[in-house]
């Protein structure tokens, strides 16, 4: 095993062992000033000096060598006095023993094009919070040399990001995951300490905790519901929210056929709005969703169905069938109601207003929560002004939530008698 001792190289104590312990996956996460990037660069140089290694340095998007860690590795080679051993080329770095560093982005790779890196023994994924599920699925099977390793450094953005799932939420058995921040770095410079103290005094708490503390953000920067999601998380309203079979379960649709269709299942008690389940699909007909709903049991209880709520386009006849979606669903035995047709901004404001009343079932609404965390304005490239919400894969769930907000106070339980949720130490008390 290679060791930093041979070159008398020092590392932050949190990383000194982890970097040189064999493991298929190594994830190093943390905020600014932690020393994670230069530590990894040094460790890879040590390994490449100790024996021949083929090392791919990558990130999600790399349009030029300037967007890579090429300069960082070059600087660390010089700092370690190894300029005579490594030849630094424009797009590659070579060692006298046959070691080589390569630099490439992942977003433009295909299953075929990435095969050129099959022989790599080490991979370093920088800014790994941006690496998509698609890129990971292309990269991982490609790196298959004996004892090959995949390293990733990142400052976590959302707890639902694919990289954070792999590192923390759902790690593989052969995984080393280390959190390191500025206070773990023995060489944290004074100039950064002044910046940190200024940030602590002037920044929004969520931003400071992310940038300097390496904590996940409540939502992406510029998210329409950033403050609402921050308050929801802080209040612990994303948690165990059980389905109560004594309550009516209402279904709120955002319609789409060729596009995504989303369904929010919700129960209401007094002022509480309990989002207990979420369904998202694509290119499925209404009869498919009806069948899925009829077969549904949550928390080992049958469903007590209330109304199905459709937006205004659900009451327009489709030329293919001559029927509107309301007629189709009524024909399938559902009681259908109409969501008020309002301006988008009106619905957004209404959702912000009722957010303090909403509880999300953590296990069953994860995708909906992610949609709300990532729902953003479309920014005019010329003026820099927000125009309208961005239409992307996350907008469909957010649209359904907006419709829910517009009908929340119309959800009824008829004669059912129920009580608000009671919690103790994060657990539901019946």
Tell me which of 184, 199, 219 is where a domain ends: 184
Does 56 have pLDDT greater than 70?
yes
pLDDT at res. 89: 95
Q: Please give the Cα distance from 382 to 384 (Å, whole number).
A: 6
pLDDT at res. 222: 86
Q: What is the pLDDT of residues 292-330, one digit of tens each?
A: 999 999 999 999 999 999 999 999 887 667 789 999 999
Domain-located, residue 351: yes
| Domain harbouring 54, CATH code | 3.40.50.300
Please state, in angstroms and as integers, the Cα–Cα distance from residue 341 to each residue in 60, 166, 284, 344, following that order: 40, 42, 24, 9
Percent of the chain residues topping a pLDDT of 70: 94
pLDDT at res. 416: 54
270 and 350 share a domain? yes
Record the tokens describing residue 332, joined without a space. 């399938």
Record the tokens describing residue 182, joined without a space. 């500025």
* Residue 350 burial class via C-beta count within 10 angstroms: exposed 0-12, middle 13-18, buried 19 and up: buried
For the chain, the C-alpha Rg in angstroms (whole number) is 26
Q: What is the pLDDT of residues 18-36, one digit of tens each?
A: 999 999 999 999 999 999 9
Task: Give the closest residue to 276 by CA, choosing from 291, 266, 288.
Answer: 266
Record the tokens describing residue 214, joined without a space. 């390496």
Q: Please give the Cα distance from 413 to 73 (Å, whole number).
A: 64
243 and 117 share a domain? no
Outline where DSSP puts E strands in 208-290: 238-239, 249-254, 260-269, 272-282
Domain-located, residue 203: no
pLDDT at res. 260: 87
- Stretch (H or E) spanning 154: strand 149-154
Question: How does residue 422 score in pLDDT terms, banded at 50, 70 and 90?
Answer: low
Q: Decide the pairing of beta strands 175-179 and 25-29.
A: parallel
Domain-located, residue 405: yes
Domain-located, residue 296: yes
Q: What is the pLDDT of residues 397-419, one digit of tens each?
A: 999 999 999 999 999 997 654 45
Question: How does residue 428 score in pLDDT terms, banded at 50, 70 and 90?
Answer: very low
- Residues 49-61, mean pLDDT to the nearest whole number: 96
pLDDT at res. 265: 98
Domain-located, residue 148: yes
253 and 388 share a domain? yes
Does 430 have pLDDT greater than 60?
no
| Domain harbouring 318, CATH code | 3.30.420.280
Q: Residues 135, 61: contact at Cβ < 8 Å?
A: no
Sheet holding 175-179, edge to edge: 86-88, 92-95, 100-105, 54-59, 122-125, 149-154, 25-29, 175-179
157 and 271 share a domain? no
Record the tokens describing residue 316, joined without a space. 């327009």
Q: Work out the widest C-alpha separation in the chain, in whole angstroms.
A: 83
Q: Please give the Cα distance from 124 to 74 (Å, whole number).
A: 15
Sign of CA dihedral 410, 411, 414, 417: negative
Q: What is the pLDDT of residues 80-136, one digit of tens each?
A: 999 999 999 999 999 999 999 999 999 988 888 899 899 999 999 999 999 999 999
Question: How does residue 5 score in pLDDT terms, banded at 50, 70 and 90?
Answer: low
Q: Please give the Cα distance from 384 to 387 (Å, whole number).
A: 9
**Distant-in-sequence contacts of 9-18, Cβ < 8 A, 24+ apart:** 9/42, 9/46, 9/80, 11/39, 11/42, 11/43, 12/39, 12/180, 12/184, 12/185, 12/186, 12/187, 13/184, 13/186, 14/178, 14/180, 14/184, 15/39, 15/43, 15/178, 15/180, 18/176, 18/178
Claim: this prediction has a pTM higher than 0.85? no
Domain-located, residue 131: yes
Q: What is the pLDDT of residues 134-149, one digit of tens each?
A: 999 999 999 999 999 9
Tally of domains in the chain? 2
Mean pLDDT of all residues in the chain? 92
**428 vs 339 pLDDT, higher one:** 339
What is the span of the domain harbouring residue 12? 4-184
Domain-located, residue 64: yes
Q: What is the pLDDT of residues 178-190, one digit of tens each?
A: 999 999 999 999 9
Do you know the residue count of the chain?
430
Torsion from C-alpha of 66, 71, 72, 76, nearest 10 degrees:
170
Domain-located, residue 86: yes
pLDDT at res. 384: 74
């Amino acid at each position: 095993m290679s060791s930093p001792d041979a070159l008398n190289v020092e590392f932050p104590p949190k990383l000194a062992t982890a970097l040189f312990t064999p493991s298929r996956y190594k994830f190093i996460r943390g905020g600014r000033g932690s020393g994670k990037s230069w530590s990894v660069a040094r460790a890879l140089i040590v390994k490449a000096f100790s024996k021949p290694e083929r090392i791919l340095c990558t990130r999600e998007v790399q349009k030029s060598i300037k967007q890579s860690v090429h300069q960082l590795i070059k600087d660390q080679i010089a700092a370690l006095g190894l300029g005579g051993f490594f030849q630094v080329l424009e797009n590659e770095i070579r060692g006298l023993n046959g070691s080589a560093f390569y630099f490439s982005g992942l977003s433009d790779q295909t299953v075929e094009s990435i095969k050129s890196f099959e022989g790599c023994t080490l991979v370093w994924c920088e800014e790994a919070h941006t690496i998509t599920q698609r890129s990971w699925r292309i990269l991982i099977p490609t790196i298959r040399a004996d004892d090959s390793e995949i390293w990733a450094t990142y400052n976590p953005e959302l707890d639902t990001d694919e990289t954070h799932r792999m590192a923390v939420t759902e790690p593989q058995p052969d995984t080393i995951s280390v959190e390191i921040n500025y206070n773990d770095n023995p060489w944290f410079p004074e100039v950064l300490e002044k910046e940190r103290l200024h940030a602590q005094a002037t920044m929004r708490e969520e931003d400071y905790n992310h940038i300097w503390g390496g904590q996940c953000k409540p939502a992406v920067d510029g998210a329409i519901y950033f403050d609402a999601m921050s308050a929801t998380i802080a209040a612990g309203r994303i948690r165990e929210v059980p389905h109560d079979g004594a309550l009516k379960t209402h279904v709120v649709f955002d319609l789409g056929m060729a596009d995504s269709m989303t369904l929010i299942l919700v129960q209401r008690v007094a002022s509480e709005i309990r989002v207990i389940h979420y369904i998202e699909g694509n290119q499925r007909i209404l009869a498919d969703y009806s069948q899925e709903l009829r077969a549904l049991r949550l928390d080992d209880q049958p469903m007590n169905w209330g109304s199905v709520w459709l937006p205004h386009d659900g009451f327009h006849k489709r030329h293919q069938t001559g029927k509107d979606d309301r007629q189709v669903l009524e024909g399938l035995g559902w009681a259908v109601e109409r969501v008020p047709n309002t301006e988008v901004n009106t619905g957004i404001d209404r959702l912000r207003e009722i957010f303090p009343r909403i509880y999300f079932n953590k296990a069953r609404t994860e995708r909906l929560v992610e949609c709300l965390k990532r729902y953003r304005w479309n920014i005019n490239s010329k003026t820099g002004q927000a125009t309208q919400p961005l239409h992307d894969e996350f907008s469909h769930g957010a649209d359904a939530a907006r419709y829910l907000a517009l009908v929340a106070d119309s959800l009824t339980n008829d004669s059912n008698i129920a009580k608000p949720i009671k919690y103790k130490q994060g657990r539901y008390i019946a």
